[in-house]
Amino acid sequence: MTYTIAISNEKGGVAKTTTTLSLGGALAELGHRVLLIDMDPQANLTLALGFEPGEAAKTSANVLIESLPLQSAIHKSDFERIDLVPCNARIESAEQFLPVRSAYLTTLRSALAQVAGLGYDYTLLDCPPALGAITLNALAASDLLLIPTQAEYFSAYALRNMMTVIRRIRKEANPNLAYRILVTLLDRRNRTHRSIYEQLISTFGDGIFETVIELDTKLRESPIAGQPITSYMPASRGSLQYRVLAEELIQYAKETHQQAA
């Protein structure tokens, strides 16, 4: 079975796309087949894997707006065991087109069901920094919502809206949606960062990954280089931490499947 993860936060600048790319690279390095789906109009994930958004004839926009079969929008990347469904700015139209349809929240879920037999172990959905129809579709289609957040006030405050959306999706479309918060861009030398991180742990407890992603300039460079951090700088701190995150995620997914069985 494919384990589907939506990577989302209403707050921008929290390393959402970096997490999608880096976690995907770490999972692939561990031998898992990974499908990355770019759902952000900015198409940063598409760019980070070396694709030009305007040149892709079939994208996630076609899948959501025109019900194009997802398989026809899958592109091979230059990295073993990583495939990509690219995106471009046209996907913004989905915010208007989707809500007028009946059962629109399950559009992406139905599309993902069509590729269930392709052998992907993990599907990672890179969502836009907004809680509109695109993000709601991603949450309705996912086993897990991974919420990257900085240990800063505005980023932590945005978690309130995320919790509200989780409750809505559980009620309307996906009762089994789980979530985990990933603290990113952490500067342990910063007293405010340390304080907010401790508050997050106190508030969310087991809802936070044990793994923390600390500040690392190499993580900023890797998307520009068009590579996951595990390929761009294998021995960097960011690379090591995303590998640990991948292992923690794999264990969590196994335990979830066992409990469901």
Q: Domains of the chain by range and CATH?
A: 3-260 (3.40.50.300)
Closest CA to 53 of 85, 80, 12: 85
* pLDDT tens per residue, range 188-235: 889 999 999 999 999 999 999 999 999 999 998 998 898 999 999 999
Using 50, 70 and 90 to split pLDDT, how confident is the model at 36? Answer: very high
Tokens of 106: 């399950």
Tokens of 254: 């196994």
E strands present in the chain? 3-7, 34-38, 75-76, 82-85, 122-126, 144-150, 178-184
* pLDDT tens per residue, range 137-171: 999 999 999 999 998 888 888 899 999 999 999 99
Residue 260 in this model has a pLDDT that exceeds 80:
no
Is the distance from CB of 4 to CB of 143 less than 8 angstroms?
Answer: yes
